[in-house]
Amino acid sequence: MRIIGGVLLDSPVLNIEGYHAFIDTVISFFIVFTIFIVRSSLSEKFPYGLYKLEDLTAIILSLIILFTLFTSIDEIFHKPPAPNIVVLIIQSMTIPLLVLSVLSKYKAANILHSPSLRADAAHMFVDVIETSSVTLGLFLFLMTHYGIIYTVSLIIALIGLLLAAYEAAHDSVLAILDLPKDKDFLKNLRIYLEKLIRGKAELVDLKARWAGPIVFVEILLRSHPLSTLESIGRLTRCIEENVRKKFEDVKYIVVMVEPTIRKYLKIVVPLEKPDPLSPVSEHFGKAPYFLVVEAKQEHIVSKQIISINDIVSRDLMSREKTGIPMSLLRGAEIAENMHKLGVTDIIVKNIGEIAYSLLLRHKIVVWKATDGSAIENVERLVKGYLEVMDQPTHEASWKKNL
């Protein structure tokens, strides 16, 4: 309508508006065509699909819009034609069609969960405002016969082309450069993830990359030292399922988990003699002394030796009346009191099942001692050379006393 009217009536405004509408139609066609391609079996043949094809298409079309803009600028300096009511009528008749197009695209975008169609609908909404402004300018020109008003209408039409080029290319350029299209998306996703993994892991890093209508998400977590591969697997599956439900544009999720590198450790080592250079005691519950070491940033900052009397209560002997051997009670009470002392790690050669279970219950990591002195074992732990003890060395010791 605009192009035919512009040619027949020799109206630069209608010509420019017609080119604008034609380019918008081409953009919409390519967006729909690209959505069809990226969701077809052809796209599935590639590891990351053909989603960026949509971004490339949008950038090319934005260049076409800019070309139309620059070829139309010289019309501003021409003498305006006589006011024509037919031009005003043609321009006015396109407004309801534009509004219908906006509503249709928003509806399609919601059905297909397509951010590209949603962006196209937003761009078309800008066109409605721009077309209404040009129509008002033509009406005022018809009523007043002031040429300056017609020139202003022409400038508004050119600005509409410029906005169309910007809207078509902005998000696509960001996607090509792997820059965030929506900073609120990353912020909201981070808040959601921190609530989802609270108490289970620590969120270290979060990245998102946009490609056409979809989002790739990369998540880096730091697990607790006692986390098993199974618990980590369950957590990552929970993250993937919930993020996809909450954020419909997310297509691919990569969850990486790194081991915990704690900044502060409070380490206890059982000793036979009150000397950090003595070997590690053979038995956790029977050790008369304990070396307590604090480490920060992989450096030992303090160490002290405490006696078993500082850990075990005085009335422990009286509990033997229950028929439970004192060795079992002693190991259990030591394990409980380690938690009260704020201990994070223990290095042992041997440990019973009850004490071991109580330490794990309080999330105290149990490490296997190696040859060498107690302080040497602490230094190996701080540097990451010791191995976690995944089971007690005396699993059935309690059965012997039944």
Q: What are 139-180's pLDDT values in tens digits?
A: 887 888 777 877 777 787 778 778 777 776 777 777 677 666
Superfamily of chain region 183-258: Cation efflux protein, cytoplasmic domain (3.30.70.1350)
Q: Which residues pair with 265 in a beta bridge?
A: 295
Residue 137 scores a pLDDT above 70 = yes
One-letter identity of residue 287: A
Q: Do 208 and 218 meet the contact criterion of CB atoms below 8 Å apart? A: yes
Q: Which residue has the higher pLDDT, 299 or 49?
A: 299
Q: How far apart are CA 54 and CA 299, in angstroms?
A: 53
Closest by Cα among 284, 262, 250 to 374? 284
Q: Which residue has the higher pLDDT, 241 or 65?
A: 241
Task: Tell me the pairing of strands 289-296 and 264-271.
Answer: antiparallel
Q: What contacts 274, CB < 8 A, 6 or more positions away?
A: 289, 305, 307
Choice among 146-160, 285-299, 388-402 with the minimum mean pLDDT: 388-402
- Give mean pLDDT, residues 129-140: 79
State the pLDDT at residue 67. Answer: 75
State the pLDDT at residue 317. Answer: 46
Q: What are 199-229's pLDDT values in tens digits?
A: 788 888 998 887 766 788 999 998 876 677 7
Superfamily of chain region 264-313+321-401: Dinitrogenase iron-molybdenum cofactor biosynthesis domain (3.30.420.130)
Q: What are 58-99's pLDDT values in tens digits?
A: 777 777 777 767 766 766 676 666 667 888 888 788 889 889
Q: How far apart are CA 364 and CA 348, in angstroms?
A: 12
Q: How far apart are CA 177 and CA 163, in angstroms?
A: 21
Closest by Cα among 292, 283, 281, 402 to 352? 283
State the pLDDT at residue 280. Answer: 94
State the pLDDT at residue 209. Answer: 80
Region for 8 from its dihedrals, namely left if φ exceeds 0, alpha if ψ lies in -120 to 50, beta otherwise: alpha
State the pLDDT at residue 361. Answer: 85
Q: How far apart are CA 18 and CA 68, in angstroms?
A: 11
State the pLDDT at residue 87. Answer: 80
SS (H, E, C) 228-239: CHHHHHHHHHHH
State the pLDDT at residue 100. Answer: 92
Residue 396 scores a pLDDT above 70 = no
State the pLDDT at residue 400. Answer: 53
What are the phi and psi torsion angles at 330 (to 5°)?
Answer: -65, -45
Calculate the average pLDDT of the chain. Answer: 80
Number of C-beta neighbours around residue 66 at 10 A = 17
Q: What are 329-353's pLDDT values in tens digits?
A: 677 888 888 888 899 999 999 988 8
**What is the DSSP-derived secondary structure letter of residue 352?**
B
State the pLDDT at residue 377. Answer: 94
The vertex-288 CA angle with 284 and 292, nearest 5°, equals 75
Residue 399 scores a pLDDT above 70 = no
Q: Where are the domains of the chain?
A: 2-174, 183-258, 264-313+321-401
Q: What are 351-368's pLDDT values in tens digits?
A: 888 888 889 888 898 999
- Give mean pLDDT, residues 237-255: 87
Expressed in angstroms, the distance from the first to the final Cα of the chain is 96
pTM above 0.75, yes or no: no
User: CA dist 124 to 4, 106, 117, 170, Å?
Assistant: 21, 10, 10, 15
Q: What are 113-126's pLDDT values in tens digits?
A: 666 677 677 777 77
DSSP string across 135-188: HHHHHHHHHH--HHHHHHHHHHHHHHHHHHHHHHHHHHHHHHTT--S-HHHHHH
Choice among 78-82, 131-135, 293-297 with the minimum mean pLDDT: 78-82
